[in-house]
Amino acid sequence: MNQIGERSCPICGNSQREIFFELSEIPAFCNLLWKERQAALNCTKGDIKLAFCHNCGFIDNVAFDSVKINYTEDYECSLDFSPRFQTNAQSLAEDLMARYQLQNKKIIEIGSGKGDFLVLLCQQNNNYGIGFDPTYVYRPEHDQYNVEFIQDYYSERHANYQSDLIICRHTLEHIPNPASFLKTLRCNIGNTFKPKIFFEEPKAQDTFNLQGNCVI
Ligand SMILES: [Zn+2]
């Protein structure tokens, strides 16, 4: 294991982190479908160099180069075609409905993808949803629901959007500086509104256990 000091932890600022996994020249995106084989072979590639912060537990890729990442409509990470995933999403939607009494409520989803989960929350109980995601693709059927989508990254430009609930599922781990993002969110909320906040993140240990069973 190597010690690194050149890039401090984006969460706690600790400059002494431990690199525990390295992989070179892999596709920068894993959720793009290429029309031709050669285009896939020529895709933008980058390195993975995972560092663990012993101070706060944060793990990130210190070789990450944001210039290589550009989320567009072509990015497809939706799993909503899977019956198993649908069951999970439905169950979570029902849980959120009950937990936060989602009726006549305004809901912001940051990283709403193609919009399926937000629609799930807003197709009943007269809720109104606003989704932020640069990869959103307009679908005419969305016009029948109380939802709107902003094809953009959520940022300080969107401070005028307020809601009763803010959800952010499997998105924070894609943001290079999560602490900075959370500060922006906190700043946007201000002190007048008091929305409920719901974040859902993958468990790193599960991912590493899966990797252990794969040939990479
Ligand atoms: Zn840290």
Where do the structural domains in the chain lie, given as residue ranges? 2-68, 83-200
Mention the CATH class of domain 83-200: alpha beta
Ligand 1 centroid to Cα of residue 168, in Å, is 22
CA 96 to chain centroid, in Å, comes to: 18
3-class DSSP assignment, residue 118: helix
**pLDDT tens digits along 3-40:** 554 578 988 989 889 999 999 999 988 777 888 999 88
- Residue 68 tokens read as 């290589």
3-class DSSP assignment, residue 39: helix
Ligand 1 centroid to Cα of residue 52, in Å, is 8
Q: What is the mean pLDDT of residues 85-101?
A: 94
pLDDT for the residue 28: 86
Given a cut of 80, whether residue 82 has pLDDT beyond it is yes
Give this prediction's pTM.
0.81
Ligand 1 centroid to Cα of residue 20, in Å, is 15
